[in-house]
Amino acid sequence: MGRKLKKDLNIKNNSSFTLNITSMTDMFTLMLVFLLQNFAATSVEIKTDADLALPTSNSYKNPIMSLQISVSKTGIKVGEKLVATINNRDIASTDIDPQDTNFIQPLFKELQIIAQDPNIKKDEKNQIMLQADQDLPYQTLRKIMYTASMAGFPQVKLVTVLGN
C-alpha cells in the first residue's frame, strides 16, 4: 500500500522539501501591527482628593489626558482651583443660576476661560475627565455635565477605579 501511495503522489526518495514562509511572515506582520495599535504607551496621571472615593468599574479602556474636573462631597474643582461648593450632596444655591436650576455659574465662567486658552491642544479642548465621588447623586453630576456642555465641553469621561 505504501509503494502505491508514493507512486500516486510522484514522490521520489531523493527529492528536497522547501518551506514557503511567505504566508507565515504575513501572519506575524499582521499580529505585530494589531498588537502595536492596541498597546498604549502613554499613561495618564490622575490626582484625587482625600475626601473623594471614585466608583469602581470593569472597563479596560485607556484614558486620554484632558481637562480634569473633581467633584468631592465638599466642592467642585477645575484642575486645582475650587470653583463651586457642595452642601448636603447638592450644589450650593448661591452657585446656581436663578433662571436655570441646572446651570452652575462659576463652573461655566471657569470653563469658558479655559476654552478660550490657545495653549490647549485641539483634541483636548472638548473633553473633560470627570472625577466624582461615588456617593453623589446623579442629579448633581447632571448639572455639572449640563454646564460643561454649555461651556463648549460636550464630551465627558467619568473616571473610575478598576474593580475586581
pLDDT of residue 115: 85
Query: Considering the domain boundaries, does residue 88 fall inside one?
Result: yes
Q: What is the mean pLDDT of the chain?
A: 80
- Range scoring the smallest mean pLDDT among 7-21, 99-113, 150-164: 7-21
Separation between Cα atoms, residue 145 and residue 101, nearest integer Å: 13
Q: According to the per-residue pLDDT averaged within each range, which of 11-25, 114-128, 132-146 is highest?
A: 132-146
pLDDT (tens digit, 9 = 90+) per residue, 31-89?
888 887 776 555 666 677 777 777 777 766 766 778 889 999 899 999 889 999 999 88
User: Which is more confidently placed, 21 or 85?
Assistant: 85
Burial environment of residue 147 by CB neighbours within 10 A (0 to 12, 13 to 18, 19 or more)? buried
153 and 122 within one domain:
yes
How many structural domains compose the chain? 2
SS3 96: strand
Q: Residue 74 sits in which domain range?
A: 56-162
Nearest to 79 by CA among 93, 68, 87, 90: 68
Query: Considering the domain boundaries, does residue 60 fall inside one?
Result: yes
Other C-beta atoms lying within 10 Å of the C-beta of residue 84? 23
95 and 63 within one domain:
yes
Q: Is the pLDDT of residue 161 over 80?
A: no
Gyration radius of the chain's alpha carbons? 28
- For the question of whether the overall pTM of this predicted structure is more than 0.75, the answer is no
Query: Considering the domain boundaries, does residue 157 fall inside one?
Result: yes
pLDDT (tens digit, 9 = 90+) per residue, 101-120?
999 999 999 999 988 888 77
Query: Considering the domain boundaries, does residue 48 fall inside one?
Result: no
130-151 average pLDDT score: 92
